[in-house]
Chain A
C-alpha cells in the first residue's frame, strides 16, 4: 500500500491522462438533478462531490442485459465475453462493499466466468463520500468507509486528494502522475478525519441494533405482522431491487434468429419483488403474495446471503431503495428497528 497525494489541479491532469489511455472510463457525472455513472469524456465532467448515483455501479459489474453465448446450428455454440478494460471512477465505499460481496458470490459454487473475467479487466477507483445523500445509512451497516476491493482509494481533503494505491494495477496507474507527492502525516490525519466524520454523518436512518444481530432477529420474525402491513401498499415495481447495489438476481432467456438456425442466450436483471419472479414450470408461483416477496427481500439481505458470505449483511446502507420507493415502505432500517422493538435484541453498544 502506498499513500500519496495529488493537488486537485494535478488530479484533473491525471484523469485526462486516464481518458487518453484507451480504456473505457466510467465516472460519476451530473444527471438531471441527480448523479449517474456514465462514460466519462472530460475530466471537467467528473463529480466526485456527488451524494449518490441513481443506479449503483453494479450496472457495469453485472450488466442489465448480457449475452452469455451465441449458437449456430448444428451444434456450434460460443461463449461470449465482454472485451476491453474498464475503469470505474468514483465508487463510494458502500458500493465498493457491495461489489466485494458480489465478487465472493460469483466466484463461489458455480464459478461465473462471465462475471469474473469482466472483473479482472476492471480497475476500481473508489472515493470517500464528500456529500451525504438524504437517505444514506452506511454508517449503521459498517460501510461508511471501506478498506478492501478497490485498486485506488481517493479522499478529498480540501485542496487535494489523498491517493491510496492498494494493488499493482492501482500503483501502475498512479505511477508517474505529474505532481504526485508522498502523503504527509497531516494528510493522513486529514483522511482519518474524513473517515471519522463519515462514520457519524452517513447515518440518516440509525439502526437500533448491530448489523450482526440481524440474522438472529429475522429467525424470530417470519410471521411478524410487519410484512403484511408494509406490503399492502407495495406496487411490486421492483425499484428496491433495480436500484440495490447488492441485488444480483438475473433471468436467463433465449432468442432465435428468423430462420431458426442461430440464436443467443442472454441474462437480464430480475427482481424478487416482481409478480412472476418465483413463477416456475407449470405456471406455479411459489411467492404469489406481495407480502411473501416483500419479506423475501429483507430475508435475502439480512439472513440468506449473509450465510453465503461469511456473515456480512447484504445491505450496505446506500439508501437508494428508500428514495426509489414511491409508497415509502422499502426502508430496511424502519423494518429492522420495528423488529428490534417488538422482538428485542441486545441493545447496541
Chain B
C-alpha cells in the first residue's frame, strides 16, 4: 500500500488537510468559545480549547435576548417563505413547462429578467409598500414579498420540462384536469427538485441579515440572525463568549440539517450550478 502512494497524492492530502483545518477554524472557535468561561475567553495568550467547560454563555444569551422568540421567528420566516415559494413557484412553473398558451415565451422572458434584479436594488420602494400596508414588524411583511421568486420558477420549469410527457398525456386522455395532472403526476415526480429548492430557500432566508433588519424594528420580531446584531450594535459591547453562544445557536440547526442531507444537496447544487 505505502509503496504505491505517489508523492503528488501525499502532497495533495497534506494540502487538503491544512486547508480544511483552516476553513474549520472559525466554526471551531464558535463551538469552543461558547462553552468557555469568561476568564479564559479574555485570557492572554488565547487558547483554542476550553480548560473548564461552562454553560454560562448559553444561559446569558437567553437572558440578553428574547431568545426563544427569535429562534421561533427564524423558523416561521424562513419556513413561511419556503412554503409559499414552493407552492407558487411550482404552479407557475407547471404552466410555463406544460401548458401551451399564447404569450408563454414572452412571459418566461419577463420572469427570467426579474431573476437579474438584486433585492437590494428595490429595497426602498418595497419597504414603502410594506409600510403602507401596515406590515412592518409582521410576518406578512417579512414573507409576502418573497412568496414567489423568479429563480424558483425557472429552476422548477427546467426540471418539469425534463419529465417525460407520456404520463400526463395518458392522464389527459382519461379526462384529468390540469390541476390534477400537476398534483398527482408532475409533483410526485419532482420531489428531488422541490427538496433542493426548499433547502436553498430556507437556508438563504434563515441566514439573511439585511431583510429582517429592514422589515422589523421591534426586537421581538427579529430573526436570530438579525437579533444577534443587537448584542454588538452601538453600545452593545458583549463578551465574546456570549456572542459565540448566540452564533452557535444561529448556525446549529442549518449545519446539522446540512450534514444529514449533504451528499445529495451538494450534488444537486453542482448540477444546477445556480444561486
Please say whether chains A and B are actual partners in one complex: no
B residues with a Cβ closer than 8 A to A are: none
